Amino acid sequence: MAEVMQRDPVLIPRKPGVFMLLNRKRRLAYVAYTSDLQKRSHSLAHMLQNPKTHWSLKDLPRHPPGEFTFMVVADTINERAAARIIRAAETEIAAKNYRLVSGSRGAVPMVTFKGEAMPLTEAIDKAKCKAKYITVWRRIDRGWTVEQAVDLEDPPTRGDPDQTQARRKRAARRTAA
């Protein structure tokens, strides 16, 4: 009978913070902010171990779950401080020749609005937009600029060939992943 190695449990706090999902073997890294580190680590572990579940990181390649490590970079921080910490961590990991994975489908999407990085909810508030959050998010996902999505600029012309081609490329990438 084979022995099963027992590991000491790692305590991940139920606090907001920045985390990194790292694959040293394939030199991949994903860095993001979450409002609950413990819940996020649990959902990512579930995602990696169950290939038929919702893949919350659309650009993350599907590799064996044992190759990934969840690391807490900083905890008990706010969303504004998180953006600075994420940039620093991404710069550091890129310097080590890791490929940075993007494509978060997390709870706090960050956007650049009027030259400032902020959570999408804050951009909606600043623009005094009357559209619902999900509407604005879907507009951005379809390729609208943030200003167009929050009704500060006219929406893109329907049937624009350049935008149609861009949408088709995005859809092809999603189905290939």
pLDDT in tens, 31-59: 988 888 998 888 888 888 886 776 677 77
Condensed to tens digits (0 to 9), the pLDDT of residues 115-124 reads 888 888 899 9
Q: Which two tokens stand for residue 142?
A: 């379809």
Q: Which residue has the higher pLDDT, 136 or 175?
A: 136
Bridge partners of residue 19, in order along the sequence: 32, 72
Contact between 43 and 56 under an 8 Å Cβ cutoff? The reply is yes
Burial (0-12, 13-18, 19+ Cβ within 10 Å), 171: exposed
Yes or no: is domain 17-100 CATH 3.40.640.10?
no
CA pair distance 111, 119, nearest whole angstrom? 6
Q: Which two tokens stand for residue 123?
A: 């951009």
Least trusted range by pLDDT, from 1-10, 65-74, 76-85, 134-143: 1-10
Delimit the domains of the chain by residue range.
17-100, 110-176
- What mean pLDDT, rounded, does the chain reach? 82
Q: DSSP string of 64-124?
A: -GGGEEEEEEEES--HHHHHHHHHHHHHHHHHTTPEEP--B--SS-EEEETTEEEEHHHHH
Q: What is the pTM of this model?
A: 0.55
Contact between 79 and 33 under an 8 Å Cβ cutoff? The reply is yes
